[in-house]
Structure 1
Amino acid sequence: MSDALFYDTLRQGLWTAFVISIPILTVALATGLVVGLFQALTSIQEMTLTFVPKLAAIIGTFWITMNYMSESLVSLFKGTLIPIIAGG
């Protein structure tokens, strides 16, 4: 395997990981901002208040985008990694 092929495969893998993580990270950020604003406005400083809504939002987002994430990973494997492995 040449250096160019290795770095191109690495770049594609990192880009796929970045694109797959965008929905979950965006929802976690938005939920954290909303809960933080709510805590600042009401002066409630409960630690579980930040954790539970974020966890629920992340699980919901993962459940909704699971098909998209799976398709992205399968296309990366079929289009890039399996031909490299099969080619030797």
Structure 2
Amino acid sequence: MTGLAILDIARDGILTFLKVAGPLMVVALVIGLVISLFQALTQIQEQTLIYVPKIVAVCAAMLLLLPFMGDALAGYMTRIAARIAAGG
């Protein structure tokens, strides 16, 4: 296996990771910003207030995005298996 092939596999893996995890991170970021804005406007400085809505939102997003995430991971596994079967 050449260095170029290894870099190609690594790049594909990183892009797949970003496609799978990116939407969940964006949801967590948006919920965190909304709750931080709410805390700033109401001057409620409870640190634990942010966790429950963020966990619920990320779990809901994960349930909605599960087919997309599964397809992305299955596609990546198919590409890796094809490289293994081709011998490199």
TM-score by length of 2: 0.92
Instruction: Determine the structure 1 residue equivalent to 2:82.
Output: 83
Aligned-partner SS, 1:44:
coil
One-letter identity of the residue aligned with 2:51: F
Q: How many corresponding residue pairs?
A: 87
Q: How far does residue 83 in structure 1 lie from its aligned partner after superposition?
A: 1.6
Q: Distance in 1 between matches of 2:48 and 2:3?
A: 48
Gaps of 5+ in 2: none
Q: Percent identity?
A: 37
Gaps of 5+ in 1: none
* 1:5-16 pair list within 5 angstroms: 5-16=5-16
Residues 1:18 and 2:18 aligned together: yes
TM-score by length of 1: 0.92
One-letter identity of the residue aligned with 1:19: K
Ranked by relative contact order (alpha carbons within 8 Å, sequence separation 6 or more), the top structure is 2
RMSD: 1.0
* 1:22-37 pair list within 5 angstroms: 22-37=22-37
